[in-house]
A = this chain, B = another copy of it.
């Protein structure tokens, strides 16, 4: 397997009005191919808890969970309880909308940022345009070569190559490429380390992934990018490449420990973004079925 560093610039690839980017690659054929993969029906949950203990950066607000209870006064012992939640769509396990980041005044497909994003949200390329994500998932576990990863460290193309050579399918056959560096779990086991930064994708890893023309990229960090940023590299280089140039949605803060520890490297990947009207992102509870 060799590193394929063909540059894919997807502006216009699905027409000048396209708002879904590489999700267009998830054709009915790819969906049915992915649905045909599972043998055992075993299902791994790749989403993290939503609530007071949920992942959120210190610069945002902790997720609210409020319980309301109503007793039926006419029938003692009968009642009901409900809840309200309030959260940042870029907290927890989540997917970035294509209008989340802009560069040089433009989002994916060349839409002017000032037209795409306004006070009421994303007028163009909103997260409600994504629709269901069903495809073949490949889990690239780079912790086998290097663990633990530390803040600011970069996954390399070579490490992805090694991880791919250990997997049971070829990256070219996958729709959703997921990279595991073992970071999400630290949120609950070593908050101090977790909040001190993050490993991320190095420039050659970004190109390695882009070379396979994936529909979706996922990772078990909150930002995909190394934090602190690498000197001489744009701090949002991966966002620029994937969201802006390629129109490839990013899924962040995936929980990948369980499938990785079970030796699973591929399967049916399903994620159902909430149809948040004009949304810039959505919480996600993805699964991998094998």
Contact = CB atoms under 8 A, between A and B. Distances in A.
Interface of A: 27-32, 35-36, 38-43, 45, 47-54, 59, 61-62, 64-71, 73, 77-90, 99-105, 113-114, 117-122, 128, 131-132, 134, 236, 268, 270-281, 283, 285-287, 289
B66 A69 contact: no
A193 B217 CA distance: 44
A128 B48 CA distance: 10
Nearest to A67: B121
Contacts of A278: 51, 65, 67
25 contacts: A31-B41, A35-B35, A45-B131, A47-B272, A49-B277, A65-B277, A65-B278, A66-B66, A66-B84, A67-B280, A68-B69, A69-B69, A77-B113, A80-B101, A82-B90, A83-B88, A84-B87, A85-B87, A86-B87, A134-B270, A134-B289, A270-B272, A271-B272, A272-B272, A274-B283
B49 A275 contact: yes
A62 B61 contact: yes
B85 A89 contact: yes
B287 A132 contact: yes
Given A32-B38, A51-B279, 16 more contacts: A28-B41, A29-B41, A43-B134, A45-B131, A45-B132, A49-B277, A50-B279, A61-B64, A61-B84, A62-B62, A67-B118, A71-B71, A77-B102, A272-B272, A272-B287, A275-B285
In the A-B complex, the 10 residue pairs with the closest CB atoms: A28-B41, A51-B277, A86-B86, A31-B41, A77-B105, A32-B41, A272-B285, A61-B64, A132-B287, A80-B101
A89 B83 contact: yes
Contacts of A62: 61-62
Given A31-B289, A102-B79, A85 B276 contact: yes
Contacts of A100: 80-82
A65 B127 CA distance: 13
A220 B256 CA distance: 35
